[in-house]
Amino acid sequence: MQMRKSAPILLVTAALLLAAVPPTVHPGDAWMDNRGQQIEAHGGGIIKLGNTWYWFGEDRTQGLDPLKRYVACYSSTDLVHWTFRNQVMKQADPGDLGARFVLERPKVFYNAKTKKFVMYMHIDDSRYALARVGVATSDTVDGDYHYVRSFRPLGQESRDIGQFIDDDGTAYLIFEDRPAHGFHIAKLTADYMDVEKDMSLIRQSLEGGAVVHYKGLYYALGSHLTGWNANPNLYATAKSLEGPWSEFKDIAPPAVNTYGSQSTMLLKVVGSKVTTVIFMGDIWKPRTQWDSRYLWMPVEIGDGNLHLPEPKPFTLDVKTGRTVVLPDAPAAPAK
């Protein structure tokens, strides 16, 4: 019968069509993992090993043990489809922090010399008064990370942290320093277990710090200090991490408050045709943290300018590095 013969052909055609659609990021939508669960990687960071990216972040899944803090790890080869790997931290109060302690913005670095994965995180008490970083290590990227210690980097207060790995592989920790009214970009020690020296202390009160090295310029970006509420994020540039840094400018019209998000990282995707920089932001929902969303959007960048366009779904081809912002869906016809 005709129907029976054509059904498999239709299925194959549909599958081929689906395979041809490049993976698409939907900024602000619920982003599902391979299990069909919302990705829990808030305040996160991403590292690339071989052809695979690993996304780490705060796991704020509902119903977890309220006395512990959790970090989840996901992997992807296209930056769109993410496989849950492991809840790599299930941390109880490591000592004197109290039941309502804070473990936020985890970032993982791979140290090729020691072959260890080293996680940095913001460690604090419930009042955010300790202002320390924590360090944990694992032998594998998605193994269980073991808490080592917490400290104030270079003896300074540190709240929001960010990570930056330069093109030459050097690893830097970005940390906000309230008393200094600024943020540091600081080099890690050879084994990554400590912070060695400041490259810059940029005297602008910004957190959610992120840095990218693009075509010979460093772009440093961050948000104002407004807690979970979004604000207009700013950026500055410099030819060297040691500065001098330019004046700070808005990444988007100030009125849109970074489209309701807060920076956590600038992700550089080096493709065969182009290099794309993706702004990774968190859309926080403080009362329903598990449902906080991600705003990812390729930025317009170059010649000292960085602009975050209005978020819209975009396709991402990690092989070529190309992104295409999809046209708006046609409006419903007027009645």
> In whole angstroms, how large is the CA radius of gyration of the chain?
21
Stretch that binds ligand GAL, among 59-67, 130-138, 220-228, 299-307 (CB under 6 A): 220-228
177 is a site residue for ligand GAL (CB under 6 A) = no
| Host H or E run for residue 6 | helix 2-20
Q: Give Cα 205 distance to the centre of its chain.
A: 20
Q: Give Cα 193 distance to the centre of its chain.
A: 21
184 is a site residue for ligand GAL (CB under 6 A) = no
At closest approach, how far in Å is the CB of 176 from ligand GAL? 8
At closest approach, how far in Å is the CB of 217 from ligand GAL? 25
At closest approach, how far in Å is the CB of 139 from ligand GAL? 28
Q: Is 240 helix (H, G, I), strand (E, B) or coil?
A: coil
Name the residue nearer to ligand GAL (CB basis): 185 or 316: 185
Among 208, 209, 281, 298, binds ligand GAL (CB under 6 A): 208
At closest approach, how far in Å is the CB of 105 from ligand GAL? 6
Sketch the per residue contact string, 249 through 268, with ligand GAL: x for CB under 6 A, - otherwise: -------------x------
228 is a site residue for ligand GAL (CB under 6 A) = yes
Stretch that binds ligand GAL, among 17-25, 180-188, 222-230, 307-315 (CB under 6 A): 222-230
Residue indicated by tokens 């408050």: 257
317 is a site residue for ligand GAL (CB under 6 A) = no
Per the CB < 8 A criterion, the answer to whether 282 and 231 are in contact is no
59 is a site residue for ligand GAL (CB under 6 A) = no
Give the chain's length.
Answer: 335
Q: Which two tokens stand for residue 76?
A: 């992807």
160 is a site residue for ligand GAL (CB under 6 A) = yes
Taking the C-alpha atoms of residue 105 and residue 187, their distance in angstroms, rounded to an integer, is 18
Give the amino acid at 201. L
43 is a site residue for ligand GAL (CB under 6 A) = yes
The residue nearest ligand GAL at its CB is 227
Taking the C-alpha atoms of residue 322 and residue 332, their distance in angstroms, rounded to an integer, is 30
Sketch the per residue contact string, 99 through 138, with ligand GAL: x for CB under 6 A, - otherwise: -----xx---------------------------------
Q: Give Cα 18 distance to the centre of its chain.
A: 28
**Residues in Cβ contact with 329 at an 8 Å cutoff, skipping those fewer than 6 apart:** none
Helices (H) and strands (E) in the chain, counts: 2, 24
Taking the C-alpha atoms of residue 296 and residue 130, their distance in angstroms, rounded to an integer, is 31
Residues in contact with ligand GAL, total (CB under 6 A)?
10
Residue numbers at the binding site for ligand GAL (CB under 6 A) = 43, 104-105, 160, 207-208, 225, 227-228, 262
